[in-house]
Structure 1
């Protein structure tokens, strides 16, 4: 991560700490774990929610996700401008992740194999969290995966929402060398 990207991240965090939720971007090990959990590879479509300065995006690309198979949804205008320069072939939408279903369909996608989230879901009101997670599963293929990281010890999706949506949570990995340490969780639909 460049000094300019770190500076941009800290500036955006100072401006809106609850939306950015961390004072530092995700570390490289966490980003690689997110990409592995998503099962990235050629021909697999991925929607990324809240990519920020793009460290997870870079890991998705390094794992084989092509630009045309990547749709990023970023609310912050400064982050969106930065991402547009870094990933010119990918689709970038400056918008709200609660509108994922409309955004995906408006861009001509029938769906995707993975939704990877860098959003601070755990800090969101349940109603907002529900709109994001429901929306993600509305665009995922039946065997698709929702990937989310957290700094806490528990699943980053509300247990009531997990029950209501019939999801199967699994801690995919724990990254002790991230600052702060983080866990990557995957969520699949129960059959």
Structure 2
């Protein structure tokens, strides 16, 4: 199945997922590495964000990552800013359940999304942004074939220090070539 690996299953996000997403969105440890603003949100704000921005946009697709063994939602993976004309999109991934960090679930979820993006949607390019201190994510993205394309210097302030936001991208033909090498 397209949205399933050995341990992870992706399902479309629904408005019923807003409460779960709210828990992850307000966990500062989860958002530290992915959200530039680190705000605390009211449940009404999260529900409106899910309804209007995540589910209400024709230029976004979001999926809840499910750990298949215990059928537990563990994170969210999204495509945003989908540009169908130029065949580009940006991806975002958050593992909201911390006990699943560093165990390969993000890699499996991202591979499922990239297979969908390149084989089914036939997009040409996927980009993402990652904070320069997030070594684990940078390693994952590099392993998946993303290349650093630039950075926004000192544009993120965390715990008294300035960090860069690194811009990475992956082209369809690069992904296909990597899949052939790994087969």
Larger helix share, 1 or 2: 1
Indicate whether the TM-score tops 0.5.
no
Which bracket does the TM-score occupy, shorter chain normalised?
A: 0.3 to 0.5
Instruction: Tell me the TM-score normalised to structure 1 length.
Output: 0.43
Q: Which has the higher relative contact order, 1 or 2, with Cα contacts under 8 A spaced 6 or more apart?
A: 1
- Bigger CA radius of gyration: 2
